A and B are shown apart, each in its own frame.
Chain A
Amino acid sequence: MTDNTTATGGTDYTAVDFSPLVELFGDEVVTHSLVRDIPLSDGRTLALLTLDNGRDHTRPNTLGPLTLLELSTALDDLNARAGRGEIHGVAVTGKPFILAAGADLSKVTEIPSRHVGKLLAQLGHHALGKLGTLGVPSFVFINGLALGGGLEIALNADYRTVDATVPAIALPEVFLGLIPGWGGSYLLPNLVGIENALKVIVENPLKNNRTLTGADALDLGIADTMFRSVSFLEDSIRWADGVLAGTITVNRPQLPGKIERLVKWDAAIGIARKTLQNRIGTIATSPYAALDLVKAAKSGTRDEGFTREDDALADLISGDQLPASIYAFNLVQKRAKRPAGAPDKALARPITKVGVIGAGLMASQFALLFVRRLKVPVVITDLDQARVDKGVAYIHGEIATLQAKGRINPDEANRLRALVTGTTDKADFSDADWVIEAVFEELGVKQDVFAEIEKHISPTAILATNTSSLLVEQIGAKLSHPERLVGFHFFNPVAVMPLIEVVNTPATDEATLSTAMVIAEKLKKNAVITRDTPGFVVNRVLAKLLGEAMHAVDTGTPFEVVNGALAPFGLPMTPFELLELVGLKVGAHVLDTHHSAFPDRFFDSTNLHKLAEHGKILERNSKGQVTGFDKGALKIVAGGSAPMTAEQILRRVEDGLADEIKRMLDDDVVHAPEDIDLCMLLGAGWPFQMGGVTPYLDRVGASERVFGGTFHTPMVRGVGADVPADRSALH
């Protein structure tokens, strides 16, 4: 396929056959382009194009091939009308609350070839680009949600207004393994300057997909003006009237000038690249593809920029990381909200009071979370009044902090403070419906604590344990009602990490399990139900990885080699950073637990215990950034006699993970590989581009090597990677 090149170095999209794309998206929910004429002053007319898919706001406008072709035709008509002098401006707006939520990605993982993938990019340019060549000024009134391609509609127009109450404006493509490929990568930096563009295109998507408000869009220079919601469309039309009449002039202080292009542009890209490398490594391809495009946007024509976006998008769509990212996105957006195997919510018991056993840091964090989300009385207890007082004081302090930050108002703060009490008298737990323990991670202690509290609570009160390494069923061995016990495993930090592993023991009854799931949802956490097996999901997978990493160190492999070996995963941190994060003692304990449960598959590490005694592995500067490895730590691990190569380690870890996860699924720890991936995404922050873990293990051949199959059929991977596979980083 050769492209038709235009005089301006771009692609002649009118000569492209888009039919393969249309066929693929056969059942597209089409967002229609509805045009009505609006009378303006002095006899002028504004053609107002409404994007509306005819559904309510729960099904936002999306932009699939039929939508884009309809828009393209509508814009052609308007171009002709402008030529005849019938209209003097064109404005685009959306249905209530929504401009457009971006490209219709529902079929993107079914795209059969790089060529068809490229068509998706080209069709967007073909249609949206017409907003820049109508012969009359074009406006987009950003009346609501504008994500990805939705925002790119606006960027392709000459002028933009924004509603002050728009909840989210963003280019989230990089978060999904894509790049803004319908003009955004070229147009945005040329509208708002290099630094603002990098913020929107690269930084925000990687900050948990942060979005902009209307005011942000105005500040950054994306919108020319902002109006309040109550009369947004009326005011926008009046403003457009003023622009067309020449009574309003638009100032764009953010517009990049010569000096910015000469001096600032490449430097900003360089800084962004370095920051990116430090934060997420170099495995994820889309952020770097975006950086390259934004860099190139410094010079050249719009059409050249569009052609570059076409190629970059085609590469990503046909590569492995996009399908894995979409898979991961769907897991966290959909599967996480409808947990597999969750019993009927109607079985859940109402929770009107919560008891927390323990008043240490973890317990206090639980108490804070429960009181904030459930807004019911929370009573904490510990061995003595001093500890209880300290716990209550901590919680009150956190509430004060929330108030100081303006996250809660004084009334709410008073309400929450009044709900939290401390006691050393277990009788105060008598009317609690949900009691969770966060005491020392030792079986006997937990057994006794529950047996003791059971004397005071009602027979239907639910007991939850936050154990990470013990078997829940054993913790309940001394209970007279073990059916009311459930595992409720949080991840640290409790307020931030979105996952709870809800552990269903053979004794746990449906009402208890249902209550646990409902409570998790009320805590705004995502719960995955696991069987009562060592380490449940996240810790077992991590123990495999960390055990192999420490084993390599123990055999004499340098820390750097281990880190380099695992680099192709693109994990958020190295194994040694992770160990320091969870605490070296805890890490050593987790390895020991898994080793004793599965001695032939999990390594423990004497060195890790020594390192824990020593206190650290990594050398850090005053800002806490890792600068190398601690000399003392290096001394501790010196002396191994059989170092491994990076290739050997990577192979062992990949195959080890494939083997362990296959066993977990065969043992029904969770029902499906999707649940393993969901746990790793939410509980360990494993990257979208890996799809959690199983899509990665399939695509690197580990699954095939280990059990002669794959976790997914068909595999979650691209159709024909023009970019080399993920291994490239190794060499």
Chain B
Amino acid sequence: MAERTEVVFVDGVRTPFGRAGEKGMYWDTRADDLVVKAITALMERNPNVPGDRIDDVAIAATTQAGDQGLTLGRTAALLAGLPVSVPGFAIDRMCAGAMTSVTTMGAAIGFGAYDLAIAGGVEHMGRHPMGAGVDPNPRFLSERLVSEDALNMGATAERIHDRFPEYTKERSDRFALRSQQKVAAAYAAGKIQPDLVSVATRSDAGWGLATRDEAPRPETTLEGLAALRTPFRPHGRITAGNASGLNDGATACLLASGATAKELGLSVKMKLVSFAFAGVEPEVMGLGPVPSTEKALRKAGLSITDIGLFELNEAFAVQVISFLDHFGIDDDDPRVNEYGGAIAIGHPLASSGVRLMNQLAAQFADHPEVRYGVTAMCIGLGQGGTVIWENPHFNKKAAKR
């Protein structure tokens, strides 16, 4: 097999994530504008990148209609002022949309077809509520291909609790609380802000500027979490507190071949090691990251013990717990979601993958003792996605200390 081209993560940004719905800060902001602003800021932060050298723009959205339709990657590139010669396309793998944008572009670079690419995603869940306009094939139910619960993400999370009775609601709530606390601490330490792109937001009260995520609730307490209702079942375990919310936001990142990054003098924040996607029963879609991570580790020739940092998408606390439990990692292991996760920050479906990568990249810079990190997430209808990254700042001496 020929030598593979090195693929690097140059830089990534995102908009602050908003709460979906009429009261959310992006209610009057278009979805495509969100991702366009992310791309614009990304290009501005990397002035050494000539626009006409971008080989492709992959932008994901789960609901590809209205302001998330019309071949988003192409329209967003045009709206962001990239040269007309730059092509673009749209991607959908539900929650792992942006992650799939990255792996697709990364694969194209790895193959040698591309030198530079933009990958990202957007989801305006206020303008495009989950499941709006879908028309599932009746065979799914008539032939019992999936259970009714498979299309309701909250219900799939309840099923993980069913399957593993030792994952109690209280354990989920504790995990959720720590997520809120870690996000608050990361904000206080200025860890999150550097990769945020301010967005002017219009509302009935005039123009504002979104500079921070809207969803975090630093005031959260265990008691408060315990008192929340369980909307997916009476006396269930899943609440608004231990799950990610409904959010609006967009992400974009710049990928390059190692040679191109060197040629243009670009920063190298992470190196792509391997990636994998895998399927599980749709009814317990939250378990998806387990097989996808095993597969990605196997492809990379690594074991779970080689991984020094984890950025796991917190679709549901229980779903992250299942991953940690499987790999024998503590719920409060400091390597996991150092800046907190989607339970606090939010999860605008197809945009979240790049948020994980931004955070892992920032942590890599802080942790030269870590060589490998993982970004992983579960995906609706029973999938998981995992990308393994290598830390370019890795330092053997630091590792020994």
Q: Which residues of A contact B211 (CB under 8 A)?
A: 39
**Assuming the A-B contacts A233-B200, A234-B198, are A228 and B207 also in contact, with contact meaning beta carbons closer than 8 angstroms in the complex?**
no
Query: What are the residues of chain B within 8 A of A132 when measuring CB–CB?
Result: none
| Cβ proximity bits B179-218 to A, threshold 8 Å, 1 near / 0 not | 0000000000000000001111010111111010000000
A622 to chain B, nearest CB (A): 49
Contacts known (A96-B202, A237-B198); A230 close to B36, Cβ less than 8 A: yes
> What chain B residues lie within 8 Å of A39 (beta carbons)?
209, 211
Q: Which chain A positions have C-beta within 8 A of B206?
A: 34-36, 48-50, 52
A230–B197 Cα distance when bound, in Å, is 13
A contact residues around B198 at 8 Å (CB): 234, 237-238
In chain A between 19 and 59, which residues have their CB closer than 8 angstroms to a CB of chain B?
34-36, 38-39, 48-50, 52
Q: What is the bound-complex CA distance between A39 and B209, given in angstroms?
A: 8
Q: Which A33-90 residues have a C-beta within 8 angstroms of B?
A: 34-36, 38-39, 48-50, 52
Q: With A231-B37, A234-B199 as given contacts, are A38 and B209 in contact (CB-CB < 8 Å)?
A: yes
Main secondary structure on A side of the interface with B: strand
Task: Report Cα–Cα, A6/B80, bound state, in Å.
Answer: 51
CB proximity to B under 8 Å, residues A75-128? 93, 95-96
Q: Report B201 CB to chain A, min CB distance, Å.
A: 9
Indicate if the CB atoms of B205 and A234 lie closer than 8 Å: no
- Distance, CA A387 to CA B82, complexed state (A): 50
From B211, which residue of chain A is reached at the shortest CB distance?
A39
Q: How far is the CA of A34 from the CA of B205 in the complex (A)?
A: 6
CB distance from B13 to the nearest CB of A (A): 12
Using known A-B contacts A36-B206, A36-B208, A48-B206, determine if residue A230 contacts B37 with beta carbons closer than 8 Å: yes
Residue of A nearest to B199 (CB): A234
A328 to chain B, nearest CB (A): 36
**Shortest beta-carbon distance, A140 to chain B, in Å?**
13
Quote the shortest CB–CB distance from A31 to chain B (angstroms).
12
Given A96-B202, A237-B198, check contact A231 B41 (CB 8 Å).
yes
Determine if A48 and B37 form an interchain contact, defined as CB atoms under 8 angstroms apart: no
* Contact between B80 and A230, CB atoms less than 8 A apart: yes
Residue on B with the closest CB to A51?
B206
B221 within 8 A of A: no
A234 near B207: Cβ-Cβ < 8 Å: no
Residues of A within 8 A of B200 (CB): 231-234, 237
Q: Which residues of B contact A38 (CB under 8 A)?
A: 208-209
Residues 37-58 of B contacting A (Cβ, < 8 Å): 37, 40-41
B37 near A233 (CB under 8 angstroms)?
A: no
- The answer to whether B207 touches A233 (Cβ under 8 A) is yes
Whether A36 touches B40, Cβ cut-off 8 Å, given contacts A230-B79, A233-B200, A234-B200, is no
B79 to A, closest residue via Cβ: A230
Say yes or no for B81: interface residue by CB 8 A criterion.
yes
Q: Which residues of B contact A50 (CB under 8 A)?
A: 202, 206-207
Residues on A with C-beta less than 8 A from B81 are 228, 230
**Min distance, Cβ A55 to any Cβ of chain B, angstroms:** 13
B80 and A48 contacting across the interface, CB-CB below 8 Å: no
Q: Which residues of B contact A233 (CB under 8 A)?
A: 200, 207, 209
A237 B40 Cβ-Cβ under 8 A? no
| CB-defined contacts of A35 to chain B, threshold 8 Å | 206
Q: Are A230 and B40 in contact (CB under 8 A)?
A: yes
- Distance between Cα atoms of A231 and B37 in the complex (Å): 7
Q: Which residues does chain B contribute within 8 Å of A48, judged by CB atoms?
A: 206-209
A481 to B333, CA, bound (A): 93
**Residue interface bits A230-246, CB-to-B below 8 A is 1, else 0:** 11111001100000000
Q: In the complex, are the beta carbons of B207 and A93 less than 8 A apart? A: yes
| Residues of A close to B209: CB separation below 8 A | 38-39, 48, 233-234, 237
- How many Å from the CB of A281 to the closest CB on chain B? 46
What sequence of 0s and 1s flags, for each residue 205-243 of chain B, a beta carbon within 8 Å of any chain A beta carbon? 111110100000000000000000000000000000000
Residues in B1-57 with C-beta less than 8 Å from chain A: 36-37, 40-41
B37: chain A residues at CB < 8 Å are 230-231, 234
Residue among B41, B81, B206 with the highest chain A CB neighbour number at 10 A: B206
Q: Report the bound CA distance from A93 to B36 in whole Å.
A: 22
Interface centre among A93, A230, A238 (most CB of B within 10 A): A230
**Chain B proximity of A51: nearest CB distance (Å):** 9
Residue of B nearest to A32 (CB): B206
Report the bound CA distance from A49 to B206 in whole Å. 7
Say whether A231 contacts B207, CB under 8 Å.
no
Residues of B80-136 at the interface with A, using a CB-CB cut-off of 8 Å, are: 80-81
How many Å lie between the Cα of A43 and that of B199 in the bound state?
19
Residues of A within 8 A of B80 (CB): 230
Q: Which residues of B contact A36 (CB under 8 A)?
A: 205-208
CA distance A48 to B79 in the complex (A): 26
| Chain B residues in 8 Å Cβ range of A234 | 37, 197-200, 209
Encoded as 1 (CB less than 8 Å from any A CB) or 0, chain B from 314 to 341 comes to 0000000000000000000000000000
Q: Which residues of B contact A231 (CB under 8 A)?
A: 37, 40-41, 200
> Chain A nearest CB: distance from B202 CB in Å?
7
Q: Give the distance in Å from the alpha carbon of A422 to the alpha carbon of B167 in the complex.
A: 86
Residues of B with C-beta under 8 A to A237 = 198, 200, 209
B44 nearest in chain A by CB position:
A231
Cα-based distance from A318 to B41 in the complex (angstroms): 53
> Measured between C-beta atoms, what is the minimum distance from A225 to chain B in Å?
15
Smallest CB-CB separation from B80: which chain A residue? A230
Determine the residue in chain A with the shortest Cβ distance to B36.
Answer: A230
Cα–Cα, bound, A35→B207 (Å): 8
CA distance A93 to B204 in the complex (A): 14
What is the distance, in angstroms, from A144's C-beta to the closest C-beta of chain B? 12
A424 to chain B, nearest CB (A): 45
A50 (CB) vs chain B CBs: closest residue: B206
The distance in angstroms between the C-alpha atoms of A93 and B207, with both chains bound, is 8
- Nearest-neighbour CB distance to chain A for B344, whole angstroms, equals 20
- Give Cα A96–Cα B205 distance, bound, in whole angstroms: 14
Q: Which residues does chain B contribute within 8 Å of A34, judged by CB atoms?
A: 204-207
- Name the CB-closest residue of B to A93: B207
Q: Which residues of chain B have C-beta atoms less than 8 A from A95's C-beta?
A: 202
CA distance A237 to B199 in the complex (A): 11
B319 to chain A, nearest CB (A): 34
Find the A residue at minimum CB distance from B198: A234
CB distance from A37 to the nearest CB of B (A): 8
The residue of chain B having its C-beta at the shortest distance from the C-beta of A35 within the complex is B206
Q: Bound state CA distance, A96 and B28, in angstroms?
A: 11
How far does the alpha carbon of A33 sit from the alpha carbon of B57 in the complex, in Å?
A: 40
List chain A residues, Cβ under 8 A from B199: 234
Nearest-neighbor residue (CB-CB) of A233 within chain B: B200
Q: Please name all residues of chain B whose beta carbon is closer than 8 Å to the beta carbon of A52 when the two chains form the complex.
A: 206
Q: How far is the CA of A49 from the CA of B208 in the complex (A)?
A: 9
In the complex, what distance in Å separates the CA atom of A395 from the CA atom of B336? 74
**Which residues of chain B have C-beta atoms less than 8 A from A93's C-beta?**
207
Which chain A residues border B36 with CB–CB below 8 Å?
230
CA distance A96 to B200 in the complex (A): 11
Rounded to whole Å, the gap between the CB of B26 and the closest CB of chain A is 14
Task: Using CB atoms, name the residue of chain A closest to B81.
Answer: A230
Minimum CB distance partner of A34 in chain B: B206
Cα distance A231–B197 when bound, in Å?
10
- Tell me the minimal C-beta distance from B86 to chain A in angstroms: 15
Bound Cα distance from A479 to B11, whole angstroms: 77
27 of the cross-chain contacts (CB-CB < 8 Å) are A34-B204, A34-B205, A39-B209, A39-B211, A48-B207, A48-B208, A48-B209, A50-B202, A50-B207, A93-B207, A95-B202, A228-B81, A230-B36, A230-B37, A230-B40, A230-B80, A230-B81, A231-B37, A231-B200, A232-B200, A233-B207, A233-B209, A234-B198, A234-B200, A237-B198, A237-B200, A237-B209
Interface residue ranges, B against A (CB under 8 Å):
36-37, 40-41, 79-81, 197-200, 202, 204-209, 211
Closest 8 interchain pairs by CB? A34-B206, A50-B206, A233-B200, A36-B208, A38-B209, A50-B207, A36-B206, A234-B198
Q: A233-B200, A234-B200, A237-B209 are in contact. List 15 more A-B contacts (CB 8 A).
A: A34-B205, A36-B205, A38-B209, A39-B211, A48-B206, A49-B206, A93-B207, A96-B202, A230-B36, A230-B79, A230-B80, A231-B37, A231-B41, A233-B207, A237-B198
